[in-house]
Amino acid sequence: MNLAITITKKEIKSYFNAPAAYIVLVIFLLLSGWFFASPLFINNQANLRTLFGIIPLLYLFFIPAITMGLLSREKNTGTMELLATLPIKDSQIIMGKFWASVSLIGVGLLLTLVHYITIMLLGTNVDFGAIFCGYIGLLFLGAVYSSIGIFASSITSNQVVSLIISFFIIFFFFIIKFFLFFVPDFMVGIFQFISIDYHFSNIARGVIDTRNIIYFVSLVVLFLKLAQTSLENRNWK
Amino acid sequence: MISLQNLTKDYGSVRAVDHINFEINEGEILGFLGPNGAGKTTTLRMITCFLSPTSGNIEVENMNIKDKQIEIKRLIGYLPEHNPLYIDMTVFDYLKFIADIREISNFSSRIKEVIKQCGLNGVVHKPINTLSKGYKQRVGFAQAILHDPKILILDEPTSGLDPNQIVEIRELIKELGKEKTLIISSHILQEVQAVCDRIVIINEGKIVADGSTEELQSAFQNKTKLILELIAPENKILEISDNIKEVSILSISPLDETTFKVEIEFDSTNDKRAEIFNFIKSKEWVLLEMRRENISLEAVFRNLTIEGGER
* Cβ contact, residue pair A81, B80, below 8 Å: yes
- Are A86 and B50 an interchain contact pair (Cβ–Cβ within 8 Å)? no
CA–CA gap between residue B14 and residue B28 (Å, rounded): 31
Contact of A82 with chain B, judged by CB distance below 8 Å, is answered with: yes
pLDDT recorded at residue A237 = 45
Q: Is B114 helix (H, G, I), strand (E, B) or coil?
A: helix
Q: Which of B47, B88, B94, B101 to mutate to test the interface with A (most CBs of A within 10 A)?
A: B101
Q: Is residue A147 part of a domain?
A: yes
The angle that helices A90-111 and A49-77 make with each other, rounded to 10 degrees, is 140
pLDDT at A144: 96
Question: Looking at residue B243, what is its pLDDT?
Answer: 82
Q: Please tell me the total count of domains within chain A.
A: 1
Judged on CB neighbours under 10 Å (0-12, 13-18, 19+), B278 is: exposed
Decide if B50 and A87 are in contact by the 8 Å CB cutoff: no
**Cβ pair B145, B114 in contact under 8 A:** yes
The whole-number pLDDT of residue A140 equals 94
**Nearest-by-Cβ selection for A3 from B11, B89, B101:** B101
- Domain span including residue A157: 2-232
Domains and CATH numbers, chain B: 2-219 (3.40.50.300), 223-293 (3.30.70.670)
The two most distant CA atoms of chain A are separated, in Å, by 61
Q: What is the mean pLDDT of residues A39-62?
A: 87
From first to last of its 311 residues, chain B has per-residue pLDDT tens of: 888 888 998 888 888 888 898 889 888 889 888 888 888 899 999 999 888 888 898 999 888 888 888 999 999 999 998 899 998 899 999 999 999 999 988 888 999 999 988 888 889 999 999 998 888 988 998 999 999 899 999 998 887 788 888 888 888 888 888 888 999 998 777 778 778 888 888 888 888 888 887 777 666 666 778 888 888 888 888 888 888 888 888 888 888 888 888 888 887 777 888 888 888 888 888 888 888 876 666 666 777 776 544 43
User: Nearest residue of B to residue A18 by CA position?
Assistant: B88
Name the closest residue on chain B to residue A74, using Cα atoms: B86
On whether residue A206 sits in a domain, the answer given is yes
> Is A237 a domain residue?
no
How close is the nearest chain B Cα to the Cα of A22, in Å?
A: 16
pTM value?
A: 0.83
Residue A197 lies in a domain: yes
Whether residue A123 lies inside any domain: the answer is yes
Mutate to test the interface with A, among B13, B50, B94, B159 (most CBs of A within 10 A): B50
Q: Which long-range contacts (CB under 8 A, 24 or more apart) does A27-31 make?
A: A27/A62, A28/A58, A28/A62, A28/A108, A29/A108, A29/A111, A29/A112, A31/A58
Interface ipTM > 0.85: yes
In a domain, A104, yes or no: yes
Mean pLDDT of A9-15: 92
Q: Supply the pLDDT for residue B157.
A: 86
Chain B CB contacts of A89 below 8 Å: 70
Task: Report the distance separating Cα A40 and Cα A50, nearest Å.
Answer: 8
- When computed from its CA atoms, the radius of gyration of chain A, rounded to whole angstroms, is 19
At residue A176, does pLDDT exceed 90?
no
Instruction: Please tell me the distance from the alpha carbon of residue B231 to that of residue B280, in angstroms, as a whole number.
Output: 10
Q: CB–CB of B201/B33 below 8 Å?
A: yes
The percentage of residues in chain A with a pLDDT greater than 90, rounded to a whole number, is 56
What's the pLDDT score for residue B222? 67
Q: In terms of pLDDT, which residue wins out, A1 or A210?
A: A210
Three-state DSSP at B137 gives: helix
Alpha helix (H) ranges present in A155-209?
159-175, 185-194, 196-204
Looking at the complex, does the CB of residue B70 fall below 8 Å from at least one CB of chain A?
Answer: yes
pLDDT digit string, tens, across residues A98-135: 999 999 999 999 999 998 888 888 877 888 888 899 99
What is the number of other CB atoms lying within 10 angstroms of the CB of residue B230?
Answer: 20
Question: Is position A155 within any domain?
Answer: yes
Is A235's CB within 8 Å of B97's CB?
no
Radius of gyration of chain B measured on its C-alpha atoms:
25
Q: What is the pLDDT of residue B266?
A: 82
How distant is the Cα of B66 from the closest Cα of chain A, in angstroms? 13
SS3 category, B121: coil
pLDDT digits (tens, 9 = 90+) for A125-169: 888 888 899 999 999 999 999 999 999 999 999 999 999 999 999
Distance (Å) from the alpha carbon of B119 to chain A's nearest alpha carbon: 22
Picking from B210, B213, B204, B216, the residue whose alpha carbon sits closest to that of residue B43 is B204
Asked if A13 is an interface residue toward chain B (Cβ–Cβ < 8 A), one would say yes
Asked if residue B67 lies in contact with residue B230, where contact means CB atoms within 8 angstroms, the answer is no
Whether B51 and A86 lie within 8 Å, measured CB to CB: no
